[in-house]
Amino acid sequence: MSHVRVLVGTRKGAFVLTSDGARQRWAVDGPHFPGWEIYHVKGSPADPDRLYASQSSGWFGQLIQRSDDGGRTWNPVDNKFTYAGVPGTHMWYDGTPHPWEFKRVWHLEPSLTDRDVVYAGVEDAALFKSADGGASWTELSGLRSHGSGPHWQPGAGGLCLHTIVLDPTNEQRMFVAISAAGAFRTEDGGKSWTAINKGLHSAQIPDPDADVGHCVHRIAMHPSNPQRLYMQKHWDVMRSDNGGDSWYEVSGNLPSDFGFPIDVHAHEPETIYVVPIKSDHFHFPPDGKLRVYRSRTGGNEWEALTNGLPQQDCYVNVLRDAMAVDSLDSCGIYFGTSGGQVYASRDAGDHWTPIVHDLPPVMSVEVQTFA
Amino acid sequence: MIRVVLPPHLRSLARVGSEISVPVGGAATQRAVLDAIEAAYPMLRGTMRDHVTHQRRALVRFYACERDLSHESPDALLPVLVAEGREPLLVVGAMAGG
């Protein structure tokens, strides 16, 4: 029987929400790691019972937890993230060189084919890989040393590598995004990297069209077309049809093109979702209305999805990793808010229902589908 | 044996009760005790001090015998009562927040 498992990372622990394929009644399990910040929890596509979680604390630092039974039990694995060689410097807020210092893991991306391979995007921005289920981590240092690293500068949220997108047709090819450096692509499994920011325009940096320095918030891809990428940038919703070689804006009629998450319908590669936020100075929805916007045309033409979402006095935020889709026949869309709600739609966004509404602030949402 | 009281989050992580005891051969120093804790409970590596530099994490404190030992040299001898197992070394998450 089909069912779904929603993995929720919050400021104070992780939660596992499960339902059958009807997605009407939910069981809530958690908090796991109560009191700890859980930046991200994600399951292995190669073995759905293998989960990885990033657990951190201002007091006790970073931990990585692994489950081999779908989140019922967890065990800590290696938490030693050491930059390769002499780390060097990036640019600090005041424009001076600043040593690379590991702070936390923002995002864990398990391999599509090997349950023991997992990538970690960290702050200060770098990409690490484990080939032994998290028992050890090695930096893919070609990213930081590809040339522009010393010029990367943190945004207000830190210099974080928060997005890792794997190409399902080519395991040597992946995309990452860094705030506030931009998007990068490798074609050789992480040895060498190319900045892919042509077409991005960011008024917040001295040269709005610079090769690096853009605050990319999130990149999404539909597995059927790895050349098509969608991006929610600090401002602007962007699209690339050539694997990131160039981008063009598809913000169209959005009420605001600032936001954090972007995701793609499981069965319709042209159908994408964003959650507009009023601006970088407000971090809440325009007009107090929580609206998901859907485009069925790969951008530019957007419709507001409001049924079941609060349409007055709503001032929550939705973070970059806090939206996901399931792959049941009627595609489910899920997102979590800074107010502790996790909303679900089992009809591609037409109607929404809160699964839970009183969790700690939600940092990440991932979905596993068991058809 | 050196008695150590861990903060609640680290007890959960190590799956231990409020107090543990670790063997320390030679001089009873902060460094020796932390080495012994990390050897017995590898999941605590990196949670109290940096993996590489062994510098104490900024919001971790070491108290014993009503004294704050956090800023002492990691190689300084711990109080005699701690070395003799009559008082525990307290590992504390610093007060933070408002």
CB contact under 8 A, B57 and A59: yes
Chain A contact for B15 (CB, 8 A cutoff): no
- The answer to whether A239 and A231 have CB atoms below 8 angstroms apart is yes
Cα gap A336→A359, rounded to integer Å: 9
In this model, does residue B98 exceed pLDDT 70?
A: no
Predicted local distance difference test score (pLDDT) of residue B97:
67
Predicted local distance difference test score (pLDDT) of residue A302:
98
Predicted local distance difference test score (pLDDT) of residue A344:
98
Cα gap A86→A296, rounded to integer Å: 47
Q: What is the pTM of this model?
A: 0.96
- Closest to B59 (Cβ–Cβ): which among A36, A59, A62? A59
Of the candidates A264, A282, A286, the residue with the CA atom closest to the CA atom of residue A273 = A264
Q: Residue A278 half-sphere exposure, CB side, CA atoms within 13 Å?
A: 14
Cα gap B95→A202, rounded to integer Å: 40
Predicted local distance difference test score (pLDDT) of residue A1:
84
CB contact under 8 A, A57 and B9: yes
pLDDT per residue as tens digits for the range B18-67: 899 999 999 999 999 999 999 999 999 999 999 999 999 999 999 999 99
- The answer to whether A303 and A255 have CB atoms below 8 angstroms apart is no
CB contact under 8 A, A79 and B46: yes
In this model, does residue B96 exceed pLDDT 90?
A: no
Disruptive mutation site among A37, A60, A62, A136 for chain B (greatest number of B CBs within 10 Å): A60
10-residue stretch averages of pLDDT, chain A, 371 residues long: 96 98 97 98 98 97 98 97 94 93 97 98 98 98 94 92 98 96 98 98 93 96 97 97 98 98 98 97 96 98 98 98 98 98 98 97 98 89
